[in-house]
Amino acid sequence: MASESVLEIQGLSKTYGSGKKQTLALKNLDLKVNRGEIFGYLGPNGAGKTTTIRLLLDLIRPSAGSARIFGLDIRQDSVEIRRRIGFFPAELSLWEGRTGKQIIHYVASVRGDARGIVKHADELAERLDLDTSKRVRDLSSGNKRKLGLVIGMMHSPEFLILDEPTGGLDPLVQQTFHEMMDEYRAKGRTVFLSSHVLSEVQAICDRVGILRDGELKAVESVEQITNVEFNWVDVKFRDAVPADLRRRLESVPSITNVSANGSRVRMRIVGDIDPLLRAISGGYVEMLHVEEPSLEEIFLAFYSGDEEKRS
């Protein structure tokens, strides 16, 4: 039996400006997100992630195409859709002069059923370690984002749309957030999460859509994306890089792009790190740093040489 789609997008396009200043922000997007899944919407800054989300919320109007959430049209039924969804914007702005508690009460009153919503908001705030008695202007940017998450989730929405939610959150809170997402999934709720951080998407999502220059390039499971993953490794030796190390590293099939500078050597490695450890065993290693590839690099790897390797 086919999974029930919560979100269905067909041929959605958005163009900003007119004449020579016209910019195509989103091109002919087709996408389905199923009930109960956490869908990662991955793309570099400016790829069209926020444009897609703003279209879904009816904040901006499509140049072409349509989308349905819960089977309802995003233009005609936007109020009913917004009753059932939660939203967290990438660039969060809140009422600076009001306290978290005041904002929660205000948003809850607009949503109706204020008592139940406020109770859940208090639970979320406690879990995220957020002091709602402070005015927004007195909160750190991380705490403001926590408040944004509380506002987006306090009515237990069926469908949660999160635009870059964890930027500025400390690692402990990010962990709590990941747990919350797992609970959402367990309850059969749906999450649409945009991000430009691969590790975040890997940790939370079931499927990933890769967006670039306004075009959806692929929709893959997280496992498939992970298969094309490689890492950058920096090794710092106590002394100068051993003379024949570069040759030894380049002879390892999974290691490429080797560059040496003084006592440091940097390389790109696909798969296990063990061949590297064997190759550098002759020198005294002071430090070894593994760096996640940028999204752009993953993207290029996914669609160039490593794609062939992957398949």
Partner 1 sequence: MSGTIVGATLRASWKQILYWGLGLGALGLYIDFIASSPDIISGYAELLGSMPPAMLQAFGASDIALLTTSEGWIVSIFVSEAAIFLSVFAVLAGLSITANDEHSGLMDVILSLPISRAAYMLERWLGYALIGFAIVLLCALITVAGMMGLNVDAQTDVIFMSVMNLYPGTLLVMTVTCLLSTALRRRAAAIALSAAFVVLSYIFNIIGASASGAIADLMERLSYFSYVHGEDFVLGVYDPANTLVVLAAALIGFALSLKLFTSRDIGI
Q: Of the candidates 37, 58, 164, 306, which one interacts with partner 1 according to CB under 8 A?
A: 58
- State the CB neighbour count (10 A cutoff) for residue 262: 10
In the complex with partner 1, the residue whose CB is nearer, 10 or 63, is 63
Indicate left, alpha or beta for 123 from its phi (over 0: left) and psi (-120 to 50: alpha).
alpha
The answer to whether the CB of 306 falls within 8 A of the CB of 270 is yes
Angle made by CA atoms 209, 175, 162, in degrees to the nearest 5: 40
Buried residues in 18-36 as b, exposed as e (16+ CB within 10 A): eeeeeebbbbebebbbeeb
Site string for partner 1, 104-143 (x = CB under 8 A): --xx-xxxx-------------------------------
The distance of closest approach from Cβ of residue 211 to partner 1 in the complex, given in angstroms and rounded to an integer, is 19
What CA–CA distance (Å, rounded) separates 106 from 100?
10
94 binds partner 1 (CB under 8 A): yes
60 binds partner 1 (CB under 8 A): yes
Interacting stretch for partner 1, rule CB under 8 A, among 89-97, 117-125, 255-263, 294-302? Answer: 89-97
Q: Of the candidates 59, 285, 287, 290, which one interacts with partner 1 according to CB under 8 A?
A: 59
Indicate left, alpha or beta for 29 from its phi (over 0: left) and psi (-120 to 50: alpha).
beta
* Residue 311 DSSP one-character state: -
Give the distance, in angstroms, between the CA of residue 300 and the centroid of all CA atoms in the same chain.
18
Q: Of the candidates 4, 80, 129, 179, which one interacts with partner 1 according to CB under 8 A?
A: 80
Total residues in contact with partner 1, by rule CB under 8 A:
32
Cα dihedral sign for 245, 228, 295, 94?
negative
In the complex with partner 1, the residue whose CB is nearer, 158 or 220, is 158
82 binds partner 1 (CB under 8 A): yes
83 binds partner 1 (CB under 8 A): yes
Strands (DSSP E) along 129-173, which ranges? Answer: 159-163
What CA–CA distance (Å, rounded) separates 257 from 178?
34
93 binds partner 1 (CB under 8 A): yes
Amino acid, res. 69: I
274 binds partner 1 (CB under 8 A): no
Q: What tokens appear for 172 in the block?
A: 């402990």
In the complex with partner 1, the residue whose CB is nearer, 108 or 279, is 108
The distance of closest approach from Cβ of residue 91 to partner 1 in the complex, given in angstroms and rounded to an integer, is 6
Site for partner 1 in 142-161 (CB under 8 A): 148, 151-152
In 3D space, the residue among 146, 156, 99, 95 whose CA is nearest the CA of residue 125 turns out to be: 146
89 binds partner 1 (CB under 8 A): yes
Q: Of the candidates 4, 11, 16, 75, which one interacts with partner 1 according to CB under 8 A?
A: 16
In the complex with partner 1, the residue whose CB is nearer, 93 or 311, is 93
Write out the residues near partner 1 by the rule CB under 8 A. Answer: 16, 54, 57-61, 78-80, 82-83, 85-87, 89, 91-95, 97-98, 106-107, 109-112, 148, 151-152
